[in-house]
Amino acid sequence: MDVWISIKGVQHADGESSSLELSTLGFMERTEDGFHITYEESETTGMKGVTTSMIVNPSAITLKRQGAFNSIMVLEKGKRTICNYDTEYGSMMMGVYAHDIRYSLAESGGDFDFHYTLDINSGMAFAHDVYVSVRAAQPERQAAAKRRRKVVRCRKKSESKGEKGICQK
């Protein structure tokens, strides 16, 4: 089913927080592993040429990015996992600890959020809070989003510095 996906991510590091909001057209289907949600990233998120897919169920979220950058992160509530994360500067191994996963998805859409920390060489680097809303796409929104290369709104906000900006594609 074509869906409208709204994502808000908040990153915490060194006593400062920054957030990113993204709304985009994507696809969702129920599989034996949970709900599979897929969407295309854009230059406004810094990941143009990357397809992001998430497999979401009540106890785990698998986040896979393929294309210009590749990574697979498995977030299992209450567990630390290791992931390989590709960047434009090279690959690195990181630890991922999922503190919480909240899940309220159904065939028609819904919401989920997850909270995790990333560590590099066992030293905490960042904490993340991610909030996702998935709704059935309306035909007029689908056409408009496709015309605008799928990404409609992306806002970055550095909460600690009070900076605000809106980038549109």
Instruction: Please count the structural domains in the chain.
Output: 1
Distance from C-alpha of 116 to C-alpha of 150, rounded to nearest angstrom: 28
Query: Where does the pLDDT of residue 138 fall: very low under 50, low under 70, confident under 90, or very high at 90 and above?
Result: confident
Contacts of residue 155, defined as CB under 8 A and 6 or more positions apart, other chains included, come to: 19, 20, 21, 164, 165, 166, 167
Q: Which residue has the higher pLDDT, 164 or 1?
A: 1
Query: Where does the pLDDT of residue 140 fall: very low under 50, low under 70, confident under 90, or very high at 90 and above?
Result: low
- Alpha helices per DSSP H over 3-105: none
pLDDT at 149: 45
The CATH number assigned to the domain holding 137 equals 2.40.128.20
- 50, 63 in Cβ contact below 8 A? no
C-alpha dihedral sign at 103, 106, 111, 116: positive
Tens of pLDDT, residue by residue over 66-80, are: 998 888 999 999 999
End-to-end CA distance of the chain: 24
* Structural domain span for residue 101: 2-167
